[in-house]
Amino acid sequence: MTVAIIQFGGSNCDNDVLHILQDVLGIKAELVWYKEGKLDGYEAAIIPGGFSYGDYLRSGAIASRTPIMEAVKKLANDGKPVMGICNGFQILTESGLLDGALTTNSYPKFKCEWSYLRVENTNTPFTSMYEKGQVIRIPIAHKDGRYYHDDASLQQLEDNNQVVFRYVDEKGNPSKDVNPNGSLNNIAGITNREGNVLGMMPHPERASETIIGSDDGLLMFKSMVESGRK
C-alpha cells in the first residue's frame, strides 16, 4: 500500500504521520502538496492536522476547495481508505465527504490534553484490529472540535453505526464532564455511510509509540494497511 499524506500551507502533523507509516510500520508513504490534481497510484490518503490557510473563514473551508480535494473525493468514491485527523476532519466535513460540522469548543479555548475514546464500530478499514467497546487513550489539540449536526441527521449517524469513536472516561462511560469540546453525543470520530472515510479530532499519530505515552493509535494505521491487502 502507498499512502498519500496531503499537505496544505499550515499543516503541522504531516511529518508525524509520515514517521508512523514509514519508520514505525514500514509502509510506503509520500507527502503530496495540495496543488496536485491527481492521486494516481495511491491506495489511501490521510489529511493530517494543522491550521490549513490559517483557519480563515472556517476551519478547513478554504482547503476543502483546493484541487487536491477533487482527487481525494475520487479516491473515496473508489472505495479507498481516506482518513482526516483534526484539521483533516474539518476539511472532510467542509468538502462534503463527511456529514455535520466542527464548530468552536463549548469552552472557546484551544485544548491540548489526553482523552479517552471508546471504540464504537470495528467494521471499518481503520478499526478492524480493535475490539468493540475498547477504551483507548489518544490526545486532542484543537479549538474548533465540537461536532454538530441537526437532530434527525445525528440520529441517522447513530442508527447507521457511523459513530466510530466517543469521548469517555477510563472505564468507558460517556458524560458531559469527559467531553472536552461539547461535541453532540460525545462524538470524537465518524465515518461516511460506506465506512471508508474516517474523520476524527483526536490525534492517533501522537499515540502510536509507547515512548510518547501511548501506542493505542497505532492499530488505526495497522488496520488501514491491512484493509489494503485484502
Cell, residue 5: 499524506
Phi/psi of residue 184, each to 5°?
-60, 140
Spot the catalytic one: 13, 43, 86, 149.
Answer: 86
Task: Judge whether 94 counts as a catalytic residue.
Answer: no
Which amino acid would we find at residue 68? I
Active site residue 205: yes
Nearest CA to 226 out of 126, 102, 80, 92 is that of 126
Q: Which three cell numbers mark 65?
A: 476547495
* DSSP letter for each residue of 126-171: TTTTS-TT-EEEEEEEESS-EEE--HHHHHHHHHTT-EEEEEE-TT
Catalytic residue among 43, 94, 120, 205: 205
Residue 158 appears among annotated catalytic residues = no
3-class SS of residue 209: strand
Given 13, 120, 149, 203, which residue is catalytic? 203
Quote the CA–CA distance of 58 and 219 in Å, as a whole number: 31
Burial of 212 (0-12, 13-18, 19+ CB in 10 A): exposed
Phi-psi region of 131 (alpha: psi -120 to 50; beta: other; left: phi over 0): beta
| Of 5, 96, 19, 1, nearest in space to 48 by CA | 5
Report the catalytic residues. 86, 203, 205
